Chain A
Amino acid sequence: MKSLPLIFLGVFFTLAFSWTGIVLTSHLQMKDLTPVTAELVDKDDKPVGGGNFLVNGVTIKNTDGMTAYPLRPVGEAQRGKEIYEQMGCLYCHSQQVRRKGFGADFERGWGNRQSVARDYIEQDRVMLGTMRTGPDLTNVGLRYPELWQYQHIYNPQITSTGSTMPPYPFLFEVQTINELTGPSVEALELPANYHPGPGFEVIPTQRAKDLVSYLMSLNQDYELPEIKFTEE
């Protein structure tokens, strides 16, 4: 093994091999995935995916008048995703429900069906996550109301005593209550021991609103042709 070209070729092909296998093949397998309506089945009642399909020579279309899932995150939710990214939420929270029987994702109420590849096609940054220092967030928008999300971000101890999640007070502003107009409609409802005191109120910044609207958008409460809700 003295030859530079030989080593180079070996090194090149080993890396190209794994890239072809892991990345390219998966890309080819998934590139045609599109949002679909859940009722999309072929004539044998078998689930199929995609916008227009050729099944046994027949083109099958999405059902008219039904929402095709997954939805594309837009507006505040899309901006909130950037906050989620910048704060490093993904280092403690996953966004994937594993199949029933593999771990306890179902039993913990994190989802009632397994997450599948199609769930992520509309996301410009996929953050499946590799840690569950905190719970999975795939369906966090279904599991808690907005007020809970705001309080939990302001200080997690309010809603989850003993949590190791960091507080995000810098996503909120503490201001004095305007004497003429009274408390702001946006003021966050807080328990007494977390409240900044009489005469003050806590207002979520635009970033907090974006983040919460992103979290509220996290839900896989729809069925896809390839995956139905797991029955109890």
Chain B
Amino acid sequence: MSSKPSLVESINPTGEPSIDMKARLGEVDASMRQPAMLFLVSAVFWLLAGSAFAIMAAIKSTNPDFLGLSEWLTFGRVRTAHLNAMIFGWGNNVIFAVAPWIMGRLCKARIRHTNILLAAGIFWNIAVTVGIFGILRGDMVGVEWLEMPAYITPLVIITYALIGVWVVIAFRWRQSEHVYVSQWYILAAFFWLPWLYTIAQIMLIFEPATGVVQSLTNWWFAHNVLGLWLTPIAIATAYYLIPKVLGRPIHSYYLSVVGFWALALFYNWAGVHHLIGGPVPAWVISAGTVASVMMVIPVIVTAINHHLTVVGSHKDGWASPTIRFVMFGAINYTVVSLFGSAMALRHVNEVTHFTHFTVGHAHHGVYAFFTMIMFGAVYYMMPRLLFREWRNPFLIRVHWWMCGLGILLMVISLQIGGWIQGLEMNALDADGVPVHTFIQVVENTKPWLWLRSLSGLMLLVGHIAFAINVFWMIFSPKTEGQVTQPTLLTPTTEET
């Protein structure tokens, strides 16, 4: 390389030609080390902060006087701080660590000028911190999933652009002949989110649309953050890690193509099912319901691909922390999506709409599916970035059992409680008079909300165990050369 490389040369992600193709993975890892660790550490902090907000909000939902004197910590703000800390603090930070890294590895492309990614990381965390501070102090915007005040919008857009560019560069100058399914999903997600965000900000905040067009835009955006951002990234991660760890190819290439385009086509339209029965054009609702049901196609296709790849390797999978978490997520993707399709049917929606059932469903998707897969990715990624092994398998077990059982308890309690709530809210006696007063309905949800608080505490314990392990690993000496195999939770087939 010349002493003063041109711009194109300086961003060229191609590895040193003298290095063997396989060894270039190490090059990619090395290039991503700093930015990925910045994002990961931030993600873990936000996970803990988000859990703390969650516990406060959960207790307040049964005991409204808890911290009741504080304006900053009133339920509406704490709950929203929780959502934003989890989605944009934990979720986006962990995605910014995992997705460019997987993209780089699959493209055999180094990430150059990582100080730009570092700058993006700093911008992003400033944006989320200021945004959540703004929510707590009362600058909250009354649009679900876009509550962070408008003064952070420029930072958000800059961050999305700075990170997205590296994903595109890695793909454009990829060194590998084959393009793997994970790469489509990541590439698509990094295009979708900035567009969604920009359009939603313009149509809802800067130049608000008239009347209920706002609500339609809101749910088009909010549901697509799940469907076109968290979901494709988590699917891509599962597609990458399952074959990688188990050492077997993905079940079917063609199914993965079908799955990708079906998701791209149908998920977009599904969001309006949040407005069923509302004052919006009936045909839009019908289209949303149809699309929600059509989502069964990509879900089943992805399920076949993920699950059939694991069949026969359960024992190895169970031994690996990565596969345990990823498979938990993959199974729950199937379950939560089928639930979601069912909830879009008008008669089911009549019961579940406006109840805690939907809250349970949201946690099922974002936590049991997305977050669990991201945990799996971190368990795989950190040892390779830091040349250190996980310090304590016991803490991994605590994390696994607390989070696995905790989220199941949360989803089950909220969905049973929510279903009862919906039935009681709608129940009429023979004279057309509601059977239960509203306060009775509220009282009957309380035991379920208590169970939800308990499950939240379990998740918090799991998160603390995870955080301890992460920081213990960061602050311990390299174990390269001493450790010959990855941390396993049970003996694998070969040893027995």
Contacts and interface: CB of A to CB of B under 8 A. Distances in A.
Interface of A: 1-2, 4, 7-8, 10-12, 14-15, 17-19, 21-23, 25-27, 29-31, 33, 84-92, 94, 96, 98-99, 102-104, 107-108, 114-121, 123-135, 156, 160-170
Sorted nearest first, the 6 A-B pairs with minimum C-beta distance are A88-B76, A18-B268, A85-B142, A132-B354, A98-B277, A120-B211
Contacts of B405: none
A162 B439 contact: yes
Size class of the contact patch on chain B: 35 or more
A149 B74 CA distance: 18
Contacts of A11: 187-188, 191-192, 264
A10 B261 contact: yes
A121 B214 CA distance: 10
The secondary-structure label for the interface of chain A is: loop
Interface of B: 60-62, 64-65, 68-71, 74-77, 79-80, 138-144, 168, 171-172, 178-179, 184, 187-188, 191-192, 195-196, 199, 203, 208-217, 220, 224, 228, 257, 261, 264-265, 268-269, 271-272, 274-275, 277-281, 284, 287-288, 346, 350, 353-356, 358-359, 425-428, 432-434, 438-439, 442-443, 446, 449
A131 B354 contact: yes
Contact of B426 (A23, A30, A84, A104): A104
Contact of B269 (A8, A21, A84): A21
A7 B359 CA distance: 34
A86 B138 CA distance: 5
Given A26-B281, A85-B140, A108-B438, A164 B61 contact: yes
A117 B140 CA distance: 25
Contact of A7 (B188, B212, B213): B188
Name the prevailing secondary structure of the B interface residues.
helix
Given A104-B425, A170-B69, A124 B354 contact: no
A90 B257 contact: no
Contacts of B428: 104, 107
Contacts of B264: 10-11, 14
B279 A87 contact: no
Nearest to A110: B438
12 contacts: A15-B195, A15-B224, A29-B281, A31-B210, A91-B75, A91-B76, A103-B426, A104-B425, A104-B427, A115-B278, A160-B439, A164-B62
